[in-house]
């Protein structure tokens, strides 16, 4: 599509460890259009954060990345380092999961914003300071002139996350990668940060990939969603499609662990319905996975699941890799 900024094809990430090879991500396909927010959801260890970091090759030296990450016509995985550095921060920016570890503790917030402006802009010192003040004001940090001189430990958790967003927005990127940006915050601050990100996305025309394990966050903020399990995308579609009529047994099971979600969320007595946990544990990724990775935990598993299911589109752009897809929709 002409408005597609990012196209990920058959992305795979393996890590070489002392215990052997770990297949963290396998066969991920993903697209992001201009101005839209795409959610990546799944349990811890499903490959969400690794996928996000692989998009700009922000992984340790023991990682091996294959596939294609097409950014505005260029394959990021094949770019030389100098071109990659020009894209990181300027065209694609990232908010990391824990700002206290991502921010430099010995540099002021103003200095850290300034570093990004120096690397990806042409403003003089006075212009960079004005831009830094604008950014802090944009993300809702009061008394910006004074706060520029403060260090990360002098900010609250919510303020640190806002400062991280300000740094990420310094060069006006086209795409923002947000790795669990609300995980360490209380629910009130979570809501504020989410509203801030959505307003910025709308106001700046910026696309976003939002990684989270919180289905409520996705329902509130995303246009489309990809559900990941054991390193693979097992279902994708619009938020209304995936949450309203899930076509993968894992998505259906996730929704049943949340109050007020799923196809029966508006039925009488839904608020008092018993939540159904997902029994068992995700498979180990350092061992070959035969068939459907979710089958050992799935209440819909059958002999068919000994073969890995392929992604099937229902004709509306709603895709799932599950042999029980039609049965789930019929329930």
Q: How confident is the model at residue 294 (pLDDT cuts 50, 70, 90)?
A: very high
Average pLDDT, the chain: 90
Dump pLDDT digits (tens) for 179-223. Answer: 988 776 777 888 888 888 888 888 888 999 999 888 888 998 899
Dump pLDDT digits (tens) for 240-290. Answer: 999 999 999 999 999 988 876 655 555 555 556 677 889 999 999 999 999
Residues 1 and 53 in one domain: yes
Task: Domain of residue 115: give its range.
Answer: 107-171
Residues 200 and 293 in one domain: yes
Q: Show which of 119, 138, 171 is a domain's final residue.
A: 171
Q: Over 50: is that where the pLDDT of 1 sits? A: no
Q: Is residue 199 part of a domain?
A: yes
Residues 4 and 140 in one domain: no
Q: Show which of 151, 171, 191 is a domain's final residue.
A: 171
Dump pLDDT digits (tens) for 29-71. Answer: 999 999 999 999 999 889 999 999 999 999 999 999 999 999 9
Residues 127 and 250 in one domain: no
Residues 326 and 290 in one domain: yes
Residues 311 and 265 in one domain: yes
Residues 20 and 148 in one domain: no
Q: Show which of 171, 191, 220 is a domain's final residue.
A: 171
Q: Is residue 16 part of a domain?
A: yes
Residues 39 and 124 in one domain: no
Q: How many domains does the chain have?
A: 2
Q: Is residue 177 part of a domain?
A: yes
Q: What is the mean pLDDT of residues 66-86?
A: 95
Q: Is residue 73 part of a domain?
A: yes
Q: Is residue 276 part of a domain?
A: yes
Q: Is residue 258 part of a domain?
A: yes
Residues 80 and 139 in one domain: no
Residues 258 and 111 in one domain: no
Residues 66 and 82 in one domain: yes
Q: Over 80: is that where the pLDDT of 330 sits? A: no
The percent of residues above 70 in pLDDT, for the chain, comes to 94
Residues 198 and 179 in one domain: yes
pLDDT value at residue 269: 54
CATH assignment at residue 81: 3.40.50.300
Q: Is residue 190 part of a domain?
A: yes
Q: Is residue 269 part of a domain?
A: yes
What is the 3-state secondary structure of the chain?
A: CCCEEEEEEEEEEEEEECCEEEEEEEEEEEEEECCCEEEEECCCCCCHHHHHHHCCCCCCCCEEEEEEEEECCEEHHHCCHHHHHHHECCCEEEECCCHHHHCCCCCCHHHHHHHHHHHHCCCCHHHHHHHHHHHHHHCCCCCHHHHCCCCHHHCCHHHHHHHHHHHHHCCCCCEEEEECCCCCCCHHHHHHHHHHHHHHHHHHCCEEEEECCCHHHHHHHCCEEEEEECCEEEEEEEHHHHHHCCCCHHHHHHHHCCCCCCCCCCCCCHHHCCCCCCCCCCCCCCCCCCCCCCHHHCCCCCHHHHCCCCCEECCCCCEECCCCHHHHHHC
More confident residue, 259 or 328: 328
The structure's pTM equals 0.90
């Amino acid at each position: 599509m002409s408005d597609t900024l990012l196209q990920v094809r058959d992305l795979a990430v393996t890590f070489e460890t002392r215990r052997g090879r770990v297949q963290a991500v396998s066969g991920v396909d993903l697209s992001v259009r201009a101005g839209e927010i795409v959610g990546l959801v799944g349990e811890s260890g499903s490959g969400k954060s690794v996928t996000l970091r692989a998009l700009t090759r922000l992984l340790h030296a023991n990682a091996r990345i294959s596939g294609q990450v097409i950014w505005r016509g260029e394959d990021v995985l094949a770019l030389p380092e100098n071109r990659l550095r020009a894209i990181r921060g300027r065209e694609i920016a990232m908010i990391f999961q824990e700002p206290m570890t991502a921010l430099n503790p010995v540099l002021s917030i103003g200095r850290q914003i300034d570093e990004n402006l120096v690397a990806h802009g042409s403003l003089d010192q006075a212009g960079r300071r004005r831009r830094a003040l604008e950014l802090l004001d944009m993300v809702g940090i009061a008394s910006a002139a004074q706060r520029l001189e403060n260090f990360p430990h002098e900010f609250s958790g919510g303020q640190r996350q806002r400062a991280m967003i300000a740094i990420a927005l310094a060069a006006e990127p086209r795409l923002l990668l947000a790795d669990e940006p609300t995980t360490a915050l209380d629910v009130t601050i979570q809501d504020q940060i989410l509203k801030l990100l959505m307003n910025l996305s709308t106001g700046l025309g910026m696309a976003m990939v939002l990684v989270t394990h919180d289905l409520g966050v996705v329902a509130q903020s995303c246009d489309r969603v990809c559900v990941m399990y054991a390193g693979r995308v097992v279902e994708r579609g619009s938020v209304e499609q995936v949450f309203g009529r899930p076509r993968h047994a894992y998505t259906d099971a996730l929704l049943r662990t949340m109050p007020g979600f799923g196809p029966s969320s508006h039925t009488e007595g839904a608020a008092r319905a018993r939540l159904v946990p997902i029994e068992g544990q995700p498979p180990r990724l350092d061992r070959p996975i035969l068939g459907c990775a979710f089958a050992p935990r799935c209440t819909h598993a059958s002999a068919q699941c000994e073969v890995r299911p392929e992604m099937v589109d229902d004709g509306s752009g709603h895709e799932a890799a599950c042999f029980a897809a039609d049965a789930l929709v019929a329930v």
